[in-house]
Amino acid sequence: MNTLFKFYVPAWLFLGLAAARMLPALWDAAQRAPAWLRVPWQAAAGVLLAGSLVFLAVGVRHRVDDRFPGARPPLGTLDATAYMTVGEYTWPDSDSVIPLRYEREAIQWLLRNVSGTPVVAEAPAGSYTVGDESVSYDYYRAGGLRVASLTGFPTFVGQHQYEQRPGDQVAERTMQAMRLFQTTDIAEARRLLAELRVGYVYIGRLERILFSADALRKFDVLVDAGELAAIYRNPDVTIYRVNRPG
């Protein structure tokens, strides 16, 4: 499947470029053809060209509405996070609305203020229990791993590592990452922060959905102990820095 879509996406781009070069030449050639051949060909070409422009006129808006109903992202920008200024989605159910503007503000802050390649702890992809339901937390529908994706900072486990490495290698690290967020044991959290070489801990709306308030409270306890520092807050996101000895 990956091979198929990774072939046809660039293939359409190259076909479009080739068509842009060939169409004027074909149009000129048609001018020299008999009318009975030229007129139907030009009419068909015109209909196809007009049809190809329909997506630009209405398709983009409908595609945005499919993911972010009613949102109108800024136009005329190369900022890949601009959609987050207006985008909202629901996960894991229709009652849980996740506004992206606060995530964007936190991610922009990280990009401006953090250098190097520190490990940023965010909820790892996997299966979780939310309420009484088992949910799949992933990169796609759930919007997981957004910090690593939008900053380039390393995190615990990439979305596709189970496809690329033996499962037992990936599973152990995934379980460690989950335990870091799930545990209420301060000593265990302290040990995992060291073992996983965490530089920053990111707690956003998704982490608050996936993990209990009691489990997340340990990070504030570690702040009081001087082992973490709460260096950024907005209405949805808190970022902690791990204070290393020395």
- What distance in Å separates the CA atoms of residue 235 and residue 118, rounded to the nearest whole number? 24
Q: Is the pLDDT at 218 greater than 70, yes or no? A: yes
Average pLDDT for residues 99-115, to the nearest whole number? 97
Strands 198-203, 119-121: pairing is parallel
Mean pLDDT rounded to a whole number for the chain: 91
- What distance in Å separates the CA atoms of residue 73 and residue 65, rounded to the nearest whole number? 11
Higher pLDDT, 2 or 38: 38
What pLDDT sits at residue 225? 97
**Backbone dihedral angles phi then psi of residue 22, each to the nearest 5 degrees:** -80, -30
Higher pLDDT, 32 or 101: 101
- What distance in Å separates the CA atoms of residue 152 and residue 197, rounded to the nearest whole number? 17
What pLDDT sits at residue 1? 59
pTM: 0.83
pLDDT band, residue 160 (cuts 50/70/90): confident
Sign of the alpha-carbon dihedral angle for 233, 70, 62, 56: negative
Picking from 61, 62, 88, the residue whose alpha carbon sits closest to that of residue 75 is 61
pLDDT band, residue 31 (cuts 50/70/90): confident
Could you tell me the maximum CA-CA distance found in the chain, to the nearest angstrom? Answer: 87
Yes or no: say if 139 and 145 are a contact pair by the CB < 8 Å rule.
yes
What ranges do the domains of the chain cover? 2-67, 82-242
What pLDDT sits at residue 164? 78
Q: Is the pLDDT at 111 greater than 90, yes or no? A: yes
Per-residue b or e along 80-114, where b marks 16 or more CB atoms closer than 10 Å to that residue's CB: ebebbebbebebbeeeeebbbbbbbbbbeebeeeb
Sequence length of the chain is 246
pLDDT band, residue 246 (cuts 50/70/90): low
Q: Choose from 2-16, 48-62, 74-88, 174-188 the range with maximum mean pLDDT.
A: 174-188
Residue 179: CB partners within 8 Å, gap ≥ 6?
Answer: 188, 192
Torsion of CA 53, 54, 57, 63, to 10 degrees: -120
pLDDT band, residue 186 (cuts 50/70/90): very high
Yes or no: say if 127 and 135 are a contact pair by the CB < 8 Å rule.
yes
How is residue 125 annotated by DSSP?
Answer: S
